[in-house]
Structure 1
């Protein structure tokens, strides 16, 4: 799934300068495989935990709201 996603991504939007992901083995191996086939040649793959933190922080308000609504359902 990661291989297909990364391949479709580069075909639709061209090569990015940097790709920031977590350290999931499927994404790392798919990225290496695509580099062997000539994709993502000028792209840097960053897997540093804290660089991905901005995206995770964006989910925080949604998670808080969801937790609040779940507690309302269980209280009744």
Structure 2
């Protein structure tokens, strides 16, 4: 994000897509480190989206992707 932002800001447009996990929202037992890292990732993306929106740079985060014989996308914001 830090490396790409100046270039997108100079163009006045850009999109960053961060892939996350529902573990950032749902605190599953036994995955403390993973859960806290995913929540930090989610908050980083939301904060960057708000702070850098006036420059034309947008941020999207996908919370989870499932592939179980087919494709299912859940929680993409």
> Under TM normalisation by the shorter chain, which class is it?
0.3 to 0.5
Higher relative helix content: 1
Higher relative strand content: 2
| TM-score, normalisation: structure 1 | 0.38
| TM-score, normalisation: structure 2 | 0.38
Bigger Cα Rg: 1
